Structure 1
């Protein structure tokens, strides 16, 4: 086994609003990172296999960092991501009341960018750019 530390030029990070219930944090995180996995094939590794030969689904090749911030900070981070052209997924408060992808997309489409009630965003891009988008966020406890 190679002892050399693996460094990534890119970063995957999730920012969650700090007033969410635990179940909401988990749900939002899962939905947000699915947008990255579904559109950026290079971030997903190979399938896993145990010693008995049972195969499991692949996962991200790199860590996913999770942060939290206030409602106001969510807006700031979203604006930074937009200005920097950083790919990101969004989860709004309204999505807790929907039950499928069609209704989720319609709920987001009904609200102007500046008025989105964001509870989470996931960002993917060059490490330094992602760090600038999330500057001031606290690591999730």
Structure 2
């Protein structure tokens, strides 16, 4: 191990939980939308901008890994409840959002449904490692 560059270990975790019955394109789309919510609410998760050897600039990205999990509809409901009780930053994606095509309609679709009746297909959370682990207990890493 290089003592000048020890491995970085984060005390926080960014995690996405997807419903196991989503199609591949849906999994990718939902993941992208969900993590955008984390980055907008928790700006400290964003690292420094990138540049290649030719000094071409690129946008900054998360400073830490994003772990992606999958689970049943029931697992999403349970994880959602756990996240709410732990008051961690969370973004949600419901099945209704597959039929909308803009932010205004997305927000209206979520606002039209009581919390207990949300048809969750994905959620993303950010928080202390142990809290996120407890929120996602029972979910499995995405294959």
- What TM-score range do you get, normalising by the shorter chain? over 0.9
Q: Distance in 1 between matches of 2:88 and 2:115?
A: 15
Q: Please report the RMSD computed on the Cα atoms of aligned residues, expressed in angstroms.
A: 0.9
1:3 deviates by 3.5
Aligned twin of 2:67: 65
- Cα deviation per residue 1:83-119 (whole Å; 9 max; x = unaligned)? 1112100000000000000000000000000100000
Aligned twin of 1:80: 82
Instruction: Please report the TM-score for the alignment, with normalisation by the length of structure 1.
Output: 0.98
Divergent runs of 4+, >6 A? none
Query: Unaligned regions of 5+ residues in structure 1, if any?
Result: none
1:62 deviates by 0.2
Q: Distance in 1 between matches of 2:88 and 2:55?
A: 39
Q: Distance in 2 between matches of 1:139 and 1:18?
A: 11
- How does 1:36-47 map onto structure 2 within 5 Å? 36-47=38-49
Q: Distance in 2 between matches of 1:110 and 1:135?
A: 29
- Equivalent residues, number: 141
- How does 1:1-141 map onto structure 2 within 5 Å? 2-141=4-143
CA contact (8 A) 2:41 2:89 kept: no
1:51 deviates by 0.2
